[in-house]
Amino acid sequence: MINYTERLTALMADIVARVPALSFIDMRDVLVFARAGRSGASGPYASCH
Global confidence as pTM: 0.69
Would you put residue 7 in left (φ > 0), alpha (ψ -120 to 50) or beta? alpha
pLDDT of residue 49: 46
For 1-49, the pLDDT digits (tens) are 788 889 999 999 999 999 999 999 999 999 988 776 666 666 655 555 4
Q: What are phi and psi of 41, to 5 degrees?
A: -110, 155
pLDDT of residue 21: 97
Cβ atoms of 23 and 16 within 8 Å: the answer is yes
Handedness of CA 2, 43, 27, 23 (dihedral sign): positive
